[in-house]
Amino acid sequence: MKIALLDPPSYSPAYDHHLAASLGARGHEVELITSPFAFGEPPRPEGYERRELFLPLSGRLVRRAPRSRLRLPLKALEYTPSIARLLLHLRRGRPDVVNVQWLPAGTRDLLWARRLPRPRVLTAHNVLPHEGEADVDERRHLYGAFDRVLVHTHRGVEQLERFGVSAEHIVRIPHGTFDGPVEPPNGRTLLFFGLIRRYKGLDVLVRALPEVRDAKLVVAGDPLDAVEPIRQLAADLGVSDRVDWRLGYLPQQEVEALMRQSTIAVFPYRGGESASGALATALGHGRPVVVTEALGEIVRAYGAGAVVPPDDPSALAHAINELLDDPAEAFRGTQKAREALSWSAIAEAHERLYSELTASIAAGDRD
């Protein structure tokens, strides 16, 4: 089967790579169509082709300064030519299925999403926006342009249904874990890991820190929102000396070192997400986790840590203390998660979806 995976803004290079490589290992001809990754070298393709048809100029120009103010105007200029290249390429290549990972421009994307070859699948990594309210009509139109919408959790299924997507058009395939070297946790080090955004609740974790016994916090990731107010909050609470800031994009070797040095990872999200690449990385490295309800489904399913309400520093501190004192059972839960959420199993589920869709559309064409 010829499979085209589309990630126009290169938002999820690790997910794209693992899915493409695992599908390729199952004998499929896979092409990942994306843009240059602004924060370094993406994973080297293994058993698939990577083609950077989107934003070739702006992606390379801003690589040394990925937060440059030039990036948005440059991307806007390149958007339409990129889409034209994509549609021409797909017409020539004639893939059996197209799986879009991200739609970066909202309603503008409808102009080309409906022109993609069928069957077409959208993976809705974030059913709800990170911040603010979702435009119900806009989301309904976007999701309606695809033959199937794929989500990672039962929570995501419920969110899609609230946008009017029918149950028969929704498919749930979990997010695989990003595995690495696994060592049993020790010490008392907390890790807050991933892009730093307001909705991820770092301020809540800092507020919880005075109630956490004998532990330090490592904050590691690229700040998309200002961190100075949170630094000031740590100073006001008298915990600045317990916070180690490691800001910026982290290459894989640094991520693995952080995981080894950490006891547990903490994700106090305020809402929105139902799956997370940062959570997948922590579980894949055997790190027990404390999360809020937004990410609770996978953690409960495998007993990989604790789930607390959002915006509740005391509840967060209590769960952290308990997990730091006895992480052994949750560590075993991370092993269960890695076994259940292997990329081989994830690829097999995608393969089944693609095959059913192509057969269904072919039968419809014959009728």
What is the sign of the dihedral through the CA atoms of 159, 161, 163 and 169?
A: positive
The residue among 351, 352, 347, 354 whose CA lies nearest residue 120 is: 354
Closest CA to 102 of 146, 43, 168: 146
Contacts of 2 (CB under 8 A, 6+ apart): 28, 29, 31, 93, 94, 95, 96, 97
Strands 2-7 and 97-100: parallel
3-state secondary structure of 342: coil
Predicted pLDDT of residue 128: 72
Residue spans of the chain under pLDDT 50 = 366-367
Q: Which residues of 178-198 are buried (b: 16+ CB within 10 A; e: fewer)?
A: bbeebeebeebbbbbbbebbe
What is the rounded CA–CA span in Å between residue 186 and residue 183? Answer: 9
- The yes/no answer on whether domain 189-340 falls in CATH 3.40.50.2000 is yes
Domains 2-176+342-366 and 189-340 share a fold: yes
**Can you give the pLDDT at residue 303?**
98
The pLDDT assigned to 67 comes to 63
Domain map of the chain by residue range? 2-176+342-366, 189-340
Instruction: Give pLDDT, residue 328.
Output: 97
Regarding beta strands 49-52 and 2-7, do their DSSP bridges make them parallel or antiparallel, or are they unpaired?
unpaired
pTM listed for this prediction: 0.93
- Residue whose C-alpha is closest to residue 199's, from 268, 106, 278: 268
Give the whole-angstrom CA distance, residue 278 versus residue 124.
Answer: 17
Tokens of residue 115, six digits: 């022109």
Cis peptide preceding 119, ω within 30 of 0: yes
CATH of 2-176+342-366, one of 3.40.190.10, 3.40.50.2000, 3.40.50.970, 1.10.10.10: 3.40.50.2000
